[in-house]
DNA sequence: GACCTTTCTGCACGTTTGTGCATGCTGGTT
DNA sequence: AACCAGCATGCACAAACGTGCAGAAAGGTC
């Protein structure tokens, strides 16, 4: 004599029977007096409503060598996403972003303020987020997305909207261009009360999530192709020896950002203010981003790094060959 | 170029690809250059080695009415295990114990001291435990298991051994009879250093896990049938109005235990010392145990209660009909 | 090295699960 | 009342999965 038959309670019941009691969907269907197909659908609803949570905990002694090396060298909490190195860029992005989404969700608490950048990586991540009910959470856009051609705003707003839906959070867009034409305009805008409100929110971000742009990426980041920059700007970047960007703020190989003029006109948070955020999650997919990634790591922008195995391997090999004799030793020692 | 091919790393990799990236086993097999069957086996190894953890979090507002009522009335953290009310006792026990095992495991931390009783319920639970690596954990037997006929010790030791294996813990048996023939003997034994050591451990238990015995259970608890008690003892219990027991310590309907002579000869912890333990998990399966359960709840022996739905329903209905007009009101109010 | 025991692997088969599609239901609009 | 849009349901089929079994590999023991 089951009490009431709301869909919600059926879902919970099905989930318990399936995941906690190892019943087959068939058996559950009989008990719920419905069809097996419905149970299958209930269960997938339970999964992506966050009712069922699957976690994989990696005992440190079992983590792949690659993770240990990166963690030790860059002092970041790293998650290497296993991928076959025959996969094409798009499939890799898909896998990395899916795993990233599932890795990020457990980190989100109630009352978090989550700063989100935009770009193809973040867009992919946002598509795979699983729901989690939280209270008082806010999503805030880290950098503007307007450009000279299409607005770009729908693109960025779509990303943060998905984050908002997944966590039941309030979302705050940042309705300014990605880059101002004149630094003076930016300075004035930054005095506006509406902008100040967002800046204030940004200063209270507890979790930042971003990808990296790399100047040499074969699949170039949106920033470099989306009409945000003109050819003068790009020449300027190359002249300054820029390696990549995070949230439309640029830096060099060694992590420095002094004297990069374009940053004066960028709407993104300065590297210094980014570094003040407690948790800074960087998602990277594709070995073509390695240059930007190295710069970002040198700048200490990330506290956690989620990246695909191929890129991870390249990151370790490049550096160990070049500039890190000690690592070369460890490397052979650990039989990497 | 996968680095090394240990079984461990394959397991981790497979788990990540399956649970975090939604790959099929077939695809994983190709990448790992093995057969799909092997992957299937790797994944089930990952599950029951505790590498993959599946949790179901029940938002309070979604918990079934039954749970809310019990929680409020008895001030215990309750988990009602959904079961069809047509199931036979054995199947119910199987489901309850499986879900109990999976509910308990996440509560176990490193350095916990876990006190475990014995009985058919605990035996079933122990068979379904999933592995979890912890450090410095100790399992200690709460009450003796020797009796006048068979030793009973293998039975009890099997249970705590399973707990030990699951959590990688040290196990401490309690090699005394369940009941002494003479209270005097017990007093003397309690002075023995070997016994004192166990008693000291018991006083430091952080999580106790036990079932309940009920005097009217149709499937009688081991205690009442296993040759632990003779007919005089049983007459004595009935004369004292005993409702049931926890770890071979008896109590009445109302939770009182004063003047129950048999307890003087029992090897189990007194109700008072049991109540000092922080977490006290009580697992109950089968409506026939309801009398004992009510006594145990009245005595405040449990902080968490895991029981099947049928029993839960009966628990709520009986009491509300009899002795709890206020609850009758709440009950109709909440539309139970 | 020969022998035995134990564990691992892939195959083949039956079972279990996901999903496109047709149908039916519900609530809102005219 | 008639209509429609949107959603939930069950069916049927294909895909994905678990497992007994037999042979292969690994690890001891003499």
**B20 and B124 inside one domain:** no
**B11 and B101 inside one domain:** no
The pLDDT assigned to A319 comes to 55
Instruction: Specify whether the CB–CB gap between B71 and B78 falls below 8 A.
Output: yes
**A35 and A162 inside one domain:** no
Tell me the pLDDT tens digit for each residue of B176-210. 988 898 999 999 999 999 999 999 999 999 999 99
Q: Which chain C nucleotides are covered by protein, judged by CB under 7 A?
A: 8-12, 15-20
B19, B82, B133 ranked by CB distance to A17: nearest: B82
The pLDDT assigned to A287 comes to 87
- Please tell me the total count of domains within chain A: 2
Over residues A201-213, mean pLDDT: 96
- Residue A55 belongs to some domain of the structure: no
Q: Any idea what the CATH number is for the domain that residue B178 is in?
A: 3.40.50.1360
Judge whether A310 is closer than 8 Å to chain B, CB to CB: no
Sign of CA dihedral A77, A80, A81, A87: positive
Q: What Rg value do the Cα atoms of chain A yield, rounded? A: 22
pLDDT at B114 exceeding the cut of 60: yes
Task: Calculate the average pLDDT of chain B.
Answer: 85
Over residues B9-29, mean pLDDT: 90
Over residues A235-258, mean pLDDT: 89
Tell me the pLDDT tens digit for each residue of A210-237. 999 887 654 455 555 556 666 777 777 7
Residue A79 has phi, psi (to 5 degrees) of -125, 110
CA dist A8 → A70, A102, A133 (Å): 43, 23, 15
Per CB-CB distance under 8 Å, the chain B contacts of A16 are: 56, 81-82, 99
- Residue A18 belongs to some domain of the structure: yes
Tell me the pLDDT tens digit for each residue of A91-127. 899 899 999 999 999 999 899 999 999 988 999 999 8
- Residue B55 belongs to some domain of the structure: no
**B279 and B314 inside one domain:** yes
CB proximity B41–strand C (7 Å threshold): yes
**B192 and B234 inside one domain:** yes
Return the SS3 of A258.
Answer: coil
Instruction: Specify whether the CB–CB gap between A177 and A146 falls below 8 A.
Output: yes
- Residue A70 belongs to some domain of the structure: yes
- Residue A85 belongs to some domain of the structure: yes
The pLDDT assigned to B88 comes to 85
**A40 and A123 inside one domain:** no
**A251 and A146 inside one domain:** yes
- Residue B53 belongs to some domain of the structure: no
**B22 and B155 inside one domain:** no
A325-334, B75-84, B269-278, B284-293, range with the lowest pLDDT: A325-334
Return the SS3 of B177.
Answer: strand
The pLDDT assigned to A336 comes to 29
Please name every residue paired with A179 in a beta bridge, in sequence order, or none if there are none. Answer: A266
Tell me the pLDDT tens digit for each residue of B220-244. 555 555 566 667 777 777 778 899 9
The spacing between the Cα labelled CA in B61 and the C1' in D1, in angstroms, equals 41
Domain that holds residue A327: 63-332
The spacing between the Cα labelled CA in B19 and the C1' in D11, in angstroms, equals 29
The spacing between the Cα labelled CA in A58 and the C1' in D26, in angstroms, equals 28
Q: Which of A15, A20, A28, A29 to mutate to test the interface with B (most CBs of B within 10 A)?
A: A20
Run of H or E including B81: strand B77-81
Pairing of the two strands A207-210 and A279-284: parallel
CB proximity A25–strand C (7 Å threshold): yes
- State the DSSP string of B240-298: TTEEEEETTEEEETTS--TT-GGGGGB-SPPHHHHHTSSEEEEEE-SGGGHHHHHHHHH
Per CB-CB distance under 8 Å, the chain A contacts of B56 are: 12, 15-16, 19-20, 46, 51-53
- Residue B170 belongs to some domain of the structure: yes
Residues A20, B62: C-beta atoms closer than 8 Å: no
Provide the pLDDT confidence category of residue A71 given band limits of 50, 70 and 90: very high
CB proximity A37–strand C (7 Å threshold): yes
How far off is chain A from B325, nearest CA to CA, in Å? 22
Provide the pLDDT confidence category of residue A157 given band limits of 50, 70 and 90: confident
The pLDDT assigned to B2 comes to 40
Q: Any idea what the CATH number is for the domain that residue B43 is in?
A: 1.10.10
- State the DSSP string of B202-218: HHT-SEEEE--EETT-S
Distance CA A185, CA A230 (A): 18
Over residues A69-73, mean pLDDT: 93
CB proximity A48–strand C (7 Å threshold): no
**A319 and A218 inside one domain:** yes
pLDDT at B296 exceeding the cut of 70: yes
**A188 and A311 inside one domain:** yes
Give B304 or A335, the one with higher predicted confidence.
B304
Instruction: Specify whether the CB–CB gap between A232 and A179 falls below 8 A.
Output: no
Please name every residue paired with A280 in a beta bridge, in sequence order, or none if there are none. Answer: A208
Over residues A47-52, mean pLDDT: 87
**A24 and A119 inside one domain:** no
> Max Cα separation, chain A?
76
- State the DSSP string of A116-181: E--SHHHHHHHHTPPP---SS-EEEESS--B-SSS--HHHHHHHHHHHHHHHT-EEE---SBSB-S
**B109 and B210 inside one domain:** yes
Task: Calculate the average pLDDT of chain A.
Answer: 85
The pLDDT assigned to B108 comes to 93
Q: Which chain D nucleotides are covered by protein, judged by CB under 7 A?
A: 8-12, 15-20
CB proximity B7–strand C (7 Å threshold): yes
- Residue B97 belongs to some domain of the structure: yes
């Amino acid at each position: 004599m089951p009490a009431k038959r709301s869909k919600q309670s059926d879902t919970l019941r099905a989930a318990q029977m399936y995941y906690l009691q190892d019943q087959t969907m068939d058996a559950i269907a009989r008990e719920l007096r419905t069809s097996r197909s419905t149970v299958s659908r209930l269960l997938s609803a339970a999964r992506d409503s966050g009712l069922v949570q699957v976690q994989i905990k990696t005992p440190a002694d079992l983590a792949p060598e690659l993770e240990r090396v990166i963690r030790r060298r860059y002092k970041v909490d790293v998650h290497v996403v296993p991928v076959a190195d025959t996969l094409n860029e798009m499939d890799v992005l898909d896998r990395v972003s899916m795993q990233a989404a599932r890795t990020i969700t457990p980190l989100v608490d109630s009352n978090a303020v989550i700063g989100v950048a935009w770009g193809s990586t973040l867009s992919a991540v946002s598509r795979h987020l699983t729901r989690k009910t939280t209270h008082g959470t806010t999503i805030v856009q880290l950098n503007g997305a307007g450009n000279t051609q299409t607005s770009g705003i729908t693109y960025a707003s779509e990303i943060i909207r998905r984050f908002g839906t997944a966590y039941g959070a309030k979302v705050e867009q940042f309705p300014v261009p990605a880059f101002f034409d004149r630094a003076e305009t930016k300075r004035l805008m930054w005095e506006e009360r509406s902008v100040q409100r967002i800046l204030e929110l940004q200063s209270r971000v507890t979790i930042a999530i971003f990808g990296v742009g790399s100047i040499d990426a074969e699949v170039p980041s949106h920033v470099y192709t989306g009409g945000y920059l003109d050819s003068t700007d790009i020449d300027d970047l190359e002249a300054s020896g820029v390696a990549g960007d995070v949230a439309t703020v640029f830096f060099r190989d060694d992590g420095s950002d002094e004297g990069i003029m374009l940053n004066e006109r960028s709407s993104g948070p300065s590297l210094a203010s980014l570094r003040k955020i407690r948790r800074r999650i960087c998602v990277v997919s594709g070995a073509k981003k390695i240059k930007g990634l190295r710069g970002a790591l040198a700048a200490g922008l990330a506290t956690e790094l989620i990246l695909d195995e191929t890129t991870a391997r390249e990151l370790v090999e490049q550096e160990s060959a070049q500039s890190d004799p000690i690592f070369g030793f460890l490397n052979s020692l650990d039989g990497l």
